[in-house]
Each structure stands twice: as C-alpha cells, then as structure tokens.
Amino acid sequence: MLLCGTHYADVSLRGDTPRFERQDTHAMERRKFLTGAAVATAASTTIAMPAIAQSLPPVSWRLTSSFPKSLDTIYGGGEVFAKTLADITDNQFKVQVFAAGEVVPGLAAADAVQNGTVDACHTASYYFTGKDPTYALACAIPFGLNARQQNSWFHHGGGNDLLNEFFKTQNIHAIPCGNSGAQMGGWFNKEIKTPADLNGLKMRIAGLAGDVARKLGVVPQQIAGGDVYPALERGVIDATEWIGPYDDEKLGFNKIAKFYYYPGFQEGGSAYHLFVNQAKWDALPPVYKAAVSTAASHANLDMLAKYDARNPAAIKRLVASGVQLRPYSPEVLDAFLKAANETYAEISRTNAAFKKIYDQLVVFRNDAYLWAQVAELPFDSFMVRTRPRS
C-alpha cells in the first residue's frame, strides 16, 4: 500500500498521468488485494488488545492502607500499585485504595485482610508482631538488611518463599510493594550520648525494635503514622522514629523535637508489602497473579526511587530550620546490637517459624555485607569524601 502510494505520488509529480492510466488489469487487481489485506490487518490489530482484555473476568478489589494520604510516598505506594495494575489489564482489574481510618485503622489492616473485610492491604508487616514476631522479618528488624539486600533476598535468596510459607498460616499472601531505604534513628527532645540516656524514655518505635529498645529502658509505643505528631506534641511520648527527612518534615516533627539522630539501626531498609487475602489470591487466574506481582514490583521500585530523590532536599531544609543532626555514638549502637541479638535468640527458642526464616536471613546478610565491603562500601565512602561541597 505504501509502495502504491509512493508510485502514485511519483507519477503525479512527474505529470505522467497517461502511463498511470495504461497500467494493466493484473496490476490494478494486485493493488486492490494488497489494500484490502492491509485494511484487514489494521482492523485485526485494532481489536486485538481489547479482545484479550475482554476475555479476562473483571475484578474489583478494596485495598486499605496503613498510612495517611498526606504521605504521598508511602501511601502513594498503594495508589501506584492500583494504577499500574489497571493499566496492565486494560482496566479489567480495578483496586480501590482507602487511607488508614477510612475502612479500618492503619494498625488493623492485616486483620481486615485475614477476615475478608477488604481484599488486600498495603502495610508495614512489623506492625503486627503482636500476632507473631515472624511478621517483622518481612519488613525490617534492627541490624537487618538494607533495601537492596532485601530485594535480593526476597527474589533470589528464598525470602519470599519462606515468608509466604509462614503467611499462608495467617490467611495472607504477601508481595513486596515498596521500600523506604535506610531510615533515620529518630527525633528526641534531648541528646542521647550514652545508653543510660535512653532509660525511661517513652518512644514511638515499631516492630521488634520496640522489644530491643525495651532492654535499654525505653518504654516503646506502637502508634500509627497519623497519630504520632499529636502524641509527641502532648508529651505522651518523648521521642519518635518514623522514616526519614521527607516524610518526617511533612509530619512536622521538627516543630517539636530538635535532635535528629542517625542511622536508623532499627530499619536499614523497610520493606512494605501488599497483603492479599489467601482465598482471593488463590482464586485469581495465573495472568492476574502475574499482573498483580508486576504492579507491586513497579510500586516497589517507584517508592524507593522517590525517597532517594526527595530526602536530600528535605534534610537540607530541616538543618536550615535549626534541626540538630546527631549520630548515635558507637556505645549506643553497640548496646542496641547486643539487645537485638538477645531478643532474636529468645524468640528463636520458642518460635520455630521465626527461627527458620531468621537463621536463613542472617546467612544471607553476612554474605551480602562481605560483598558490599569489597565494592559498594569503598565506592560510596570515596564518593562521600570527595563530593563537591555546596
């Protein structure tokens, strides 16, 4: 068809109309055939994608988030997942996302999935260590894995399989769906120079990190994101950890506490998950399972990239506003590490599921850091030392 069109144009531009009119019948029939075939091909191509989509059943899910809408990064992970899934399936698979508190409170998200109140939730699994400490291993534990190592462990170190073996007993199928990267240590109303300074401190600190901190005299509080600021403002708590500069600034912690500590030993990388009701997951056709997993993987990548892009400017703004950055002293970190190892040993003695996954995670972590000290750490350390000072 394109060749014919070019021939027509060439002939017309040359004024060679008589030769065009003298073309034989066979050539004209050949042009008609090719034109008809091209139209048929175009038509079949046009209907192919909708036909594929129409062959799949329409599915509508409700998903509750553990996070408030004001946190565009972490709450946004659920929205990115839902939009990507709709795009992949030509809107055949739709997920309605609800913020924490719209259907159930943020800390009740897993319960809502287990009992079928919602089909899925987007959450931090360590919120539910009260059900079983094993939940924390899917999200973050003190002195665990960083974000890259978590993704590696999940997808190529057997982590997903081990975790879902456990989560199946909880009527949940879990899929990684976001990561914060390494977090900050937290906000304090006073300086923390030694472990003794932690004694009696009321602190919002999530997951097994609360059990670890308790060994150093901290009084841990499990508080959902949207409730942390008023608790800190009213003096219900003396300190809090949340995520990092971008989200912490949004929540306004710098208006109350001025000492901002690092590193976040409690969360070297915090993995967020899509929890799906097990029966709902089992009922999906394979193509939809693949679509859900693909959409979650995109949300996982997008969230970490967003944090890495937005935290640098936020930390500059916080420091410019008068926030005092402080590193945890080696003495404090060593005390937390000792407490963490004691905590894991205690849990492992009575919880076979935790021990099975934790033991495997530790082997993976040790090898991951062996490699990191060869290439990644020296490169990053050199670049930090030599970066231009602004």
Q: What is the pLDDT of residues 206-258, one digit of tens each?
A: 899 999 999 999 999 988 888 999 999 999 999 999 999 999 999 999 999 99
Confidence (pLDDT) at 388? 74
Give the C-alpha distances (Å, rounded to integers) separating 346 from 131, 204, 218, 228. Answer: 17, 23, 19, 30
Please identify which residue in the block is written with the tokens 């998950």: 273
Cα-to-chain-centroid distance, residue 70: 17
Higher pLDDT, 271 or 28: 271
Place of tokens 């994101």: 225
Where is pLDDT greater, at 187 or 47?
Answer: 187
> pLDDT at residue 8 above 70?
no
Helix or strand run (H / E) with residue 261: strand 259-262
* Sheet strands side by side (includes 202-204): 219-221, 202-204, 239-240, 186-188, 259-262, 324-327
The whole-angstrom separation of Cα 364 and Cα 377 is: 17
Give whole-number Cα distances, 372 to 149, 367, 375, in Å.
10, 9, 6
Pairing state of beta strands 120-123 and 271-277?
antiparallel
Q: What is the CATH number of domain 57-179+270-307?
A: 3.40.190.170
Question: Is the pLDDT reported for residue 80 higher than 80?
Answer: yes
- The pair of structure tokens assigned to 70 is 């004001």
Question: 82: which 2 tokens?
Answer: 């839902």
Residues 343-375: pLDDT tens digits? 999 999 999 999 999 999 999 999 999 999 999
Question: Tens digit of pLDDT for each residue in 256-279?
Answer: 999 999 999 999 999 999 999 999
Task: Characterize 342-351 residue by residue with b for buried, 16 or more Cβ atoms within 10 angstroms of its Cβ, and e for exposed.
Answer: ebbeebeeee
Is the confidence at residue 294, as pLDDT, over 60? yes
Alpha-carbon gap, residue 118 to 3, rounded angstroms: 57
| Residue 182: predicted pLDDT | 97
Taking only the tens place, the pLDDT of each residue in 49-70 is 455 556 789 999 999 999 999 9
Q: Using alpha carbons, list the distances in angstroms from residue 235 to 20, 187, 189.
A: 91, 13, 10
Q: Please report the pLDDT score of residue 239 as a whole number.
A: 97
The pLDDT of residue 307: 98
Per-residue pLDDT at 53: 57
C-alpha to C-alpha distance for 236 and 300, rounded to whole angstroms: 34
pLDDT, one tens digit per residue, over 311-340 is 999 999 999 999 999 999 999 999 999 999
Distance CA 172, CA 77 (A): 19
Is residue 298 within 8 A of residue 80, CB to CB? The reply is yes
Our CA angle for 102, 282, 285, nearest 5°, is: 100
* Cβ-Cβ contacts under 8 Å for 390 (sequence gap 6 or more): none
pLDDT at 289: 98
Question: How is the chain split into domains, by residue range?
Answer: 57-179+270-307
State residue 389's pLDDT score: 67
